Amino acid sequence: MDHLEEISVEELQDALDKVDGKKPTQRLLAAIAYKNGVQQTELAEWYGVERRTIYSWLKRLDTDESLEQAVSDAHRSGRNRKLSEEEQEQFEATVHEPPEKVGLDAPAWTPALVQQYLDETYDVEYSIPSCRRLLKEAGLSYQKPRRTAAESDADEQETFREEIKKSGGRWTPQ
């Protein structure tokens, strides 16, 4: 690789002192080792990657930008949200109220109920784990029902059991 001939080990070590993160550090360490005579195949074994990956790491250094920038990945924003900011705010306000307030026959919000509500209200589909995440982002936490004392009224115990069966668990404001 001709382009690594123009970069000294000292420059790579200086850049190593300035970078943060696992990947940039690995890339610079691989470049330093390569400059010290370690073959790409051996580096690939060290880092548990393909030889082609090591080649790409080394090729990244052939640029006009600083070594720190060359070994760092650009920010990735990820997937766009299904709900707009306004819809997200409306949803969060809604789940802070009982489901009965929006016409749902349930004593508490559950991920399955949220999934149904989002589909019917905003025409978006979310998985159950994503519904759990949305509830958590809304400031709710999962609450398991606590046992009632054995001395409590039998009617109260029966009502309690029916509510638990109906809700399957509760998401309540923190």
Q: Given CA atoms 17, 23, 26, 32 in this order, what sign does their dihedral have?
A: negative
pLDDT score for 174: 47
Q: What is the pLDDT of residues 76-88, one digit of tens each?
A: 778 888 999 999 9
> 0.85 exceeded by the pTM?
no
Q: Is the pLDDT of residue 37 over 70?
A: yes
